[in-house]
Amino acid sequence: MKGSVSILIGGKAGQGIATIETLLTKGFKRSGYFTFSTKEYMSRVRGGSNTTLIRISNTPVNAPDYKVDIFVPLDEGAFHHARERMAPETFLVAKKGAYECDCTPYECDLEALAREAGTPMVSNTVAAALVFGLLGCARETLAEVLAELYEGDILAINLKALGIGADLAQENGNCRYCLERSAGAGAKTHLFLSGTEGAGFGAIAGGCNFISSYPMSPSTGVLTFLAKHSRRFGICVEQAEDEIAAFQMGLGAWYGGGRALTTTSGGGFALMGEGMSLAGMSETPMVVYLAQRPGPATGLPTRTEQGDLELAMHAGHGEFPRIILAPGDPKECFELSRRAFDLADRYQTPVIVLSDQYLADSAFTLERFALDAVKPAQCFVRSDAEYKRYRVTDSGISPRSLPGYGEGVVLVDSDEHTEEGLITESMRVRNEQNGKRLKKSETIVREAIPPEAAGEGDVAVVGWGSTKYIINEAIQRLKNDKVRVLHFSWVYPLSDAQLAPLRKARRIIVVENNATGQFAKLLKLHGFAVHDQILKSDGLPFFVDELSEKLDLLLKEMR
Amino acid sequence: MSTRFDRIVEDNSWCAGCGNFSILAYLKAALEELGLDPLRCAVVSGIGQAAKTPQYMKVNMFNGLHGRALPVAQGLKVSNPSLKVIAEGGDGDMYGEGGNHFMAAIRRNAGIVNIVHNNMVYGLTKGQASPTSQRGFTTPVQTEGVHVEPFNPIATAISLDASLVIRTFSGNKEHCKEMLKIALMHEGYVLIDIFQPCVTFNKINTFKWFKENVYELPDEYDPTDKVRAFEKSLENHPFPIGVIYKSAPKPTLEVILREESGMSDAPLYASGTDERSLREAMGKYC
């Protein structure tokens, strides 16, 4: 029996792949399996070829393999789109003689079967039931999920389709991909959460009560998530006329005492550059959720890349502190989004949560985590009549008051300003205020989160952000004790303490989902020699099998 | 007249005779006469000579970036609806760099007073054309004269059904102050476009020119007649001044967003995270 099974469903946009995904992921999770799903899709509303990968296991897996065990193409385009992902032992669920492949055909005419149920529309339910059965899961579990999605006649037809699919799986009795039962991913002990949902909940936990955004893939999920939950959690939601306004409205909201978020991707963030600079100069907190996709320009709008680290590091003219957090899984999306609000508030400077399409659109099974210490820090003070917004202090942090909160006025200025907040061209004051702003970095860097380490070897395999589980599993498969994986979720600014484990490394290999090795360049700036890099920028995430092979080659060369 | 909005200013960067001085004085007087509290008023501005106005007042100030006063002002008003929020700047700031924000702000109808000093020229960058410069106006850049149609903020605002649309002239003290008071008392978005001479860079649209090219709308004029108001907005030489358009009452952005989210009108800083609710919501993902 295999440790995990990967199922790939492909089809045109609008063919119901999302329904299969919902049915199967909920069904597998309830059957006690660790479930992971991810998708890749084209930038179009209808047609094209999209796939969803579902991977289940009785031990935690939260990363995709390139080669799959079961492939269900819902149309011919999907077959050609993903044929490379089949191995000889891959089950290809398709009509007899439909496709030629070096794989194991599993003959089944989904559409004909769906017609038996009443309408070809339920092909996807037949497919889901068949796959569910092939893995040895009980049809009752899937019926339960269906009953939550549909009602009345539609439910009846879907239940019929489920019966047909499940019967077929049973009749053929092939259990090549049956998994041992797993009690691991319990109904109440584990969450099944996407990066988008993690970031959304994190923002709520961080006290977010205002969001203004301009929609842009793949960041829009967090905007719609917060809109959906706005009534429950008291969030003012406004769609901005452009990204410039989205950021500026957020600054206005923070100035008034709100906790604002804006969501965007690289192209939109480029427009927010001046806003970043204003947040830095005016010392107004701001949180940006930046979900990366491949650029330059419009690039590959619905695909993934870690290509905007340098943009995030450098966006905005002038010199000012900023913090960049790059979560590696939905739990970190939650924790870092929450923390972003407190960091922005405490240091009065912009904080970027750097995710990407892969992480945003992937759902992981994660142990349920505690929400303690959920209370956001309240960093503002009541003003007195003598209040000075930019009072020079040892830490560089000037107590921030709000308009209408106390006895003084709060003057915020984008021009260089006096302690009071009024425009000045005094060089002495310039040096004082500029120094004050930059001094905040000294305290900020003390908060830097150390990289997550696994293994004890002296070859460091370094990653950041969304690649966390992929790299970890790739290394686990190699069972190579020379390696120590170091994964960074706090990517800027880097502290000496954070980098200490790297100093012990004999060799450093950096793995990044981009073409030029942006994090490696940052490490070089800190004086590290990066010996090898594994880079990928074709719009897809790394796959565990693919990365494992590449790492194996590199490590063998080192021998 | 001394007001609670006065600030002792050692170094003012405006030219002697600039219309900004009058507007500043009338604004402070209007605020004072309405009994508003400096601590509960905020002036958000962009960049330009007009945008320096809050530097010379005692009032909460967010002096942001060129063209961006309106989005900041709207965010602030939603964040704390109890504040009197003013977005102030010049014609280049509000209608040029911030043009898209201008249209969006009118449509949103946040309760802010949008004061635009309109002198038909760029001051801080030294004399280039502004969006409201008249055709043929020559400048160091538009050496053969402006060849684009001047922006008509009044007509634009009416077409987008702005809650209140006013034009006045800095050279008419009583009118200007009175119009500022009407603007400050209004709930919802107000555009108050104030004609103002630039003594240094605009030798065409001078104090005298404005005086000769404006006329006050008569008392019987009905600003709620939208079509009539639109006609008025197209008049020029002379330009009508006064309350040009007043829309039917409509809810403000800060009220709508709160209603949509079931929130009270308390400032956002007073709201907290509902931990139990969050636990419950996340539990659904088990």
3-class SS at A342? helix
Dihedral of the CA atoms A402, A405, A407, A413 (nearest 10)? 10
Residue numbers of A between 368 and 387 with CB closer than 8 Å to B: 368, 371, 374-376, 378, 380
With vertex at residue A276, the alpha carbon angle to CA A271 and CA A280, rounded to the nearest 5 degrees, is: 160
With vertex at residue B283, the alpha carbon angle to CA B277 and CA B284, rounded to the nearest 5 degrees, is: 100
Chain A: nearest CA to B252, how far in angstroms?
13
Q: Is residue A180 part of a domain?
A: no
Write down the pLDDT at residue A374: 58
B62 with A375: Cβ contact below 8 A: no
A371 with B76: Cβ contact below 8 A: no
- Considering the domain architecture, whether residues A333 and A394 belong to the same structural domain is answered as no
Number of domains in chain A: 4
Residue A181: pLDDT band (50, 70, 90) is: confident
Tokens, residue A35: 């479930």
Q: Is residue A59 part of a domain?
A: yes
Q: Is residue A153 part of a domain?
A: yes
With vertex at residue A370, the alpha carbon angle to CA A369 and CA A375, rounded to the nearest 5 degrees, is: 135
Residues of chain B with C-beta less than 8 angstroms from the C-beta of A412:
61-64
3-class SS at A498? helix
- State how beta strands A34-40 and A47-57 pair: antiparallel
- Considering the domain architecture, whether residues A200 and A338 belong to the same structural domain is answered as yes
Residue A303: domain span: 192-367
Of A235, A252, A409, the CB nearest to B58: A409
Q: Encode burial over B218-234: b for 16+ CB neighbours within 10 A, e otherwise.
A: eeeeebeeeeebeebbe
Interatomic CA distance for residues A167 and A139, integer angstroms = 9
Interatomic CA distance for residues A261 and A274, integer angstroms = 16
**CATH class assigned to B19-283:** alpha beta
Q: Domain boundary residue among A141, A172, A203?
A: A172
- CATH number of the domain where residue A149 is located: 3.40.920.10
A408 and B CB contact within 8 Å: yes
Residue A28: pLDDT band (50, 70, 90) is: very high
Question: What type of residue sits at position A80?
Answer: H
With vertex at residue A519, the alpha carbon angle to CA A516 and CA A524, rounded to the nearest 5 degrees, is: 95
| Residue B242 scores a pLDDT above 80 | yes
B260 with A252: Cβ contact below 8 A: no
Q: Is residue A413 part of a domain?
A: yes
| Residue B225 scores a pLDDT above 60 | yes
A238 and B CB contact within 8 Å: yes
Q: Which residues is A53 bridged to in the sheet?
A: A8, A38
Q: Is residue A182 part of a domain?
A: no
- Considering the domain architecture, whether residues A202 and A81 belong to the same structural domain is answered as no
Region of A488 please: left (phi>0), alpha (psi -120 to 50) or beta: beta
B269 with A188: Cβ contact below 8 A: no
Question: The complex's ipTM?
Answer: 0.98
What is the chain B residue with the closest CA to A35?
Answer: B286
- Considering the domain architecture, whether residues A340 and A424 belong to the same structural domain is answered as no
- Considering the domain architecture, whether residues A71 and A208 belong to the same structural domain is answered as no
| Residue A211 scores a pLDDT above 90 | yes
Residue numbers of B between 252 and 271 with CB closer than 8 Å to A: 253, 257-258, 260-263, 267-271
- State how beta strands B164-169 and B239-246 pair: antiparallel
Q: What is the mean pLDDT of residues A442-468?
A: 97
B14, B76, B252: best mutation site toward chain A, by most A Cβ within 10 Å? B76
- Considering the domain architecture, whether residues A432 and A496 belong to the same structural domain is answered as no
- Considering the domain architecture, whether residues A36 and A154 belong to the same structural domain is answered as yes
Q: Is A102 or A185 the better-scoring residue by pLDDT?
A: A102
Q: Which residues is A155 bridged to in the sheet?
A: none
Q: Encode burial over A59-83: b for 16+ CB neighbours within 10 A, e otherwise.
A: ebbbbbbbbbbbbbbbeebbbebbb
Interatomic CA distance for residues A183 and A557, integer angstroms = 41
| Residue B104 scores a pLDDT above 60 | yes
Q: What is the mean pLDDT of residues A208-217?
A: 98
Residue numbers of A between 159 and 178 with CB closer than 8 Å to B: none
Q: Are A477 and A498 in contact (CB under 8 A)?
A: no
C-alpha of A143 from chain center: 30
Of A240, A407, A423, the CB nearest to B55: A423
Residue A172: pLDDT band (50, 70, 90) is: confident
| Residue A227 scores a pLDDT above 70 | yes
- Considering the domain architecture, whether residues A49 and A74 belong to the same structural domain is answered as yes
Neighbour count for residue A126 (Cβ, 10 Å): 31
A422-431, pLDDT tens digit by residue?
A: 999 999 999 9
A245 with B100: Cβ contact below 8 A: yes
A231 with B40: Cβ contact below 8 A: no
Q: What is the mean pLDDT of residues A504-530?
A: 97
A286-339, pLDDT tens digit by residue?
A: 999 999 999 999 999 999 999 999 999 999 999 999 999 999 999 999 999 999
Write down the pLDDT at residue A178: 82
- CATH number of the domain where residue A511 is located: 3.40.50.920
Q: What is the mean pLDDT of residues A443-471?
A: 97
- Considering the domain architecture, whether residues A234 and A333 belong to the same structural domain is answered as yes
- How many residue pairs bridge chain A and chain B with CB atoms within 8 Å of each other? 221
A416 and B CB contact within 8 Å: no
- State how beta strands A532-535 and A507-512 pair: parallel
Residues of chain B with C-beta less than 8 angstroms from the C-beta of A278:
64-65, 68
Interatomic CA distance for residues A378 and A381, integer angstroms = 9
Write down the pLDDT at residue A1: 47
Of A210, A368, A378, the CB nearest to B79: A210
Residues of chain B with C-beta less than 8 angstroms from the C-beta of A246:
71
Q: What is the mean pLDDT of residues B141-151?
A: 96
Chain B: nearest CA to A121, how far in angstroms?
28
A271 and B CB contact within 8 Å: no
Q: Domain boundary residue among A409, A425, A447?
A: A447
- Considering the domain architecture, whether residues A348 and A211 belong to the same structural domain is answered as yes
- Considering the domain architecture, whether residues A414 and A473 belong to the same structural domain is answered as no
A74-114, pLDDT tens digit by residue?
A: 999 999 999 999 999 999 999 998 999 999 999 999 999 99
- Considering the domain architecture, whether residues A99 and A122 belong to the same structural domain is answered as yes
Write down the pLDDT at residue A559: 65
What is the chain A residue with the closest CA to B260?
Answer: A231
Q: Domain boundary residue among A429, A447, A465?
A: A447
Residue numbers of B between 106 and 165 with CB closer than 8 Å to A: 108
Q: What is the mean pLDDT of residues A258-266?
A: 98
Q: Is residue A298 part of a domain?
A: yes
Chain B: nearest CA to A483, how far in angstroms?
34
Write down the pLDDT at residue A173: 67
B7-18, pLDDT tens digit by residue?
A: 998 889 999 999
Distances (CA, A) of B21 to A359, B170, B209: 55, 9, 19
A403 with B76: Cβ contact below 8 A: yes
Residues 6+ apart with CB under 8 A from B23: B50, B53, B115, B117, B170, B176, B194, B196
Q: What is the mean pLDDT of residues B141-163?
A: 97
A415 with B61: Cβ contact below 8 A: no
| Residue B65 scores a pLDDT above 80 | yes
Q: Is residue A183 part of a domain?
A: no
pTM recorded for the entire structure = 0.97
Q: Is residue A375 part of a domain?
A: no
> 């820090």: which residue's tokens?
A377
Residues of chain A with C-beta less than 8 angstroms from the C-beta of B5:
none
Write down the pLDDT at residue A174: 66
A229 with B281: Cβ contact below 8 A: yes
From the list A472, A471, A462, A465, the residue with the least C-alpha distance to A507 is A462
Of A249, A378, A412, the CB nearest to B71: A249
Residue A14: pLDDT band (50, 70, 90) is: confident
A209 and B CB contact within 8 Å: yes
Chain A: nearest CA to B214, how far in angstroms?
34
A244 and B CB contact within 8 Å: yes
